Structure 1
Amino acid sequence: MQSVDSSISWENVTRLDGKTVVVTGFASGIGLAVASQFLSAGARVIGGDINEAKAVETVESLRKQGGVIDYLPLDLGNGTSVDRFVDDAMALIGGAPDVIANVAGLDRAMPFLENTPDLWDLLVRVNYVGPVRMIHRFLPAMIERRSGKIVTVASDAGRVGSTGETFYAGCKGAIIAFTKSLAREVARANINCNCVAPGLTNTPLFNAIIPEGKLRDSLLRAVPFKRLAEPVEVANMIVYFGTPAANFMTGQVVSVSGGLTMHG
């Protein structure tokens, strides 16, 4: 009988002991759940967020669950802030992170013809250019080390479109295409790039855009499970992509949408 290699047991391939993870938007919503789950998997977390007061409070709370977590200010819409975050994170870590989880995002729900160029500029900087700039800065050290995992967070709006989120959907479609293309470029350096596309999720951002009412009820009727995702349910897939369990996956986009969007 063939023996089972204990080094590839489920427990071993889902642990991240001794690894360092950068999580953007970690102070609330999906980002908070991602930071918490990475800590549970044994990783050290460097959290970036634009909301300093909330971030400091979050760090204090997460430290109580055990593990090491630090906060560095980050505004993905500001290139100088992104560069400073990368420099400070690499100084704190002593090199590149093992995993980059870009979770932070920004949305505004309104008809496309009510958009303004200023809004376009803000959405594209936070949802696309900022994350790309951050990855671009971290990547040389990851390539030199010949290891690393990059996880981007898009949206099912970027896969199938969403009324009232047209430009946002365009930004998320761009991050999907970027992730797939980057995956091809860096596979030779043993770096994985994958993307998670959440559907309707119970986050402060979603609740601010779609408050309780007829519109939300209508959206939920379209979800086979008839409910919103909880942030941790999305976080679990993001964290999975950061673990050795996903070593042979790259260039993938996985929807966590309760079946709202099904792709063959």
Structure 2
Amino acid sequence: MAVDFRLDGQVAVITGSTSGIGQGMAQALVGQGVSVVLNGFGDAAKIEADRAAMQAAAPTGVRVLYHAADMTKPGQIADLIGFAHRELGRLDILVNNAGIQHVAAVDEFPDEKWDQIIAINLSSAFHATKHALPIMKAQGRGRIVNIASAHGLVASPFKSAYVAAKHGVVGFTKSTALEVARAGITVNAICPGYVKTPLVEMQIGDQARTRGISPERVVEEVILAAQPNKAFVEYDQLAGLLLYLVSDVGASTTGAALTIDGGWTAA
């Protein structure tokens, strides 16, 4: 039996999708016939150029839109979901991907950074899901995918806010999945290890200069120290798991925290 991931005519909202993981997931969904609402911060001209390029490469009838909702503001998040529904007529897929990071010891962690990380990495998923669920319930079908992290399952020092938020995302995923299990809606979390995003590439260069070692050693000994396979997770690998979860093939998978981390959490 052939497996078909085609999702023609569906609509997705992806938070934090103007770069990195979110942008890669948006491109994968557009390629499968999904109209997408992008969201995120960044240079306005670059965001528009990327959106236009994605639109130009999209299959006929697929639309790529952008909404600048601030993920720390519940009212703007509600408007993002409403915008997608108004402009595109439905909402089939919600990917809660927006996230930031700050590294510091607990007793030195800035209060404002803690609040910002919890708001963007955890609370935004609640607010987006809250407003998406009535639409999905009315349709009788929906797919919610929360981008957690290996840090949603295990911890690292100096990342208390990020680890707390991502553990919260996993718990929120499980609880929501139980609530909507008979409504035709699945809710799952993807827990990636390190992905070579622009932010991580900058960290490699910074660490190499600071430590006086080669970028190759930084990757193996610092960045990927916790990943046994010593390889970054690729965008297409994440996209493959996403397509499984949002298609009918993944209809029986719900409430799961699925790792794609090179063996990090197996230890």
Does the pair score TM above 0.5? yes
Q: What amino acid sits opposite 2:243 in the alignment?
A: V
Query: How big is the shift at 1:223?
Result: 2.0
Residue 85 of structure 2: aligned partner: 90
Residue 191 of structure 2: aligned partner: 197
Give the Cα separation in 2 of the matches to 1:38 and 1:108: 30
| Contact persistence 2:104–2:158 (CA under 8 A) | yes
Q: What amino acid sits opposite 1:88 in the alignment?
A: F
Aligned-CA RMSD value: 1.8
| Contact persistence 2:193–2:227 (CA under 8 A) | no
Give the Cα separation in 1 of the matches to 2:143 and 2:149: 19
| Contact persistence 2:220–2:230 (CA under 8 A) | no
The number of residue pairs the alignment matches comes to 253
Residue 229 of structure 2: aligned partner: 225
| 1:187 partner SS | coil
Query: How big is the shift at 1:224?
Result: 2.4
Q: TM-score, normalised by structure 1?
A: 0.89
Q: What amino acid sits opposite 1:83 in the alignment?
A: A
Give the Cα separation in 1 of the matches to 2:196 and 2:41: 20
Give the Cα separation in 1 of the matches to 2:142 and 2:157: 36
| Contact persistence 2:15–2:22 (CA under 8 A) | yes
Give the Cα separation in 1 of the matches to 2:95 and 2:243: 8
Q: Which runs of 5+ in 2 are unaligned?
A: 212-217
Query: Do the aligned partners of residues 209 and 120 (structure 1) sit closer, same or farther apart at CA in structure 2, a change above 3 Å counting?
Result: farther
Residue 48 of structure 2: aligned partner: 56
Q: Give per-residue Cα distances to partners, 1:121-144, cap 9 Å, x unaligned.
A: 100110111121011011112112
% identical aligned pairs: 28
Give the Cα separation in 2 of the matches to 1:88 and 1:228: 35
Structure 1 stretch displaced more, 175-184 or 161-170: 161-170
Q: Give per-residue Cα distances to partners, 1:137-168, cap 9 Å, x unaligned.
A: 11112112221010000011120111221111
Give the Cα separation in 2 of the matches to 1:243 and 1:33: 17
Q: TM-score, normalised by structure 2?
A: 0.88
| Contact persistence 1:196–1:256 (CA under 8 A) | yes
| 1:232 partner SS | helix
Query: How big is the shift at 1:231?
Result: 2.7
Q: Give per-residue Cα distances to partners, 1:198-243, cap 9 Å, x unaligned.
A: 1111012333455443654324244222122223322321232111
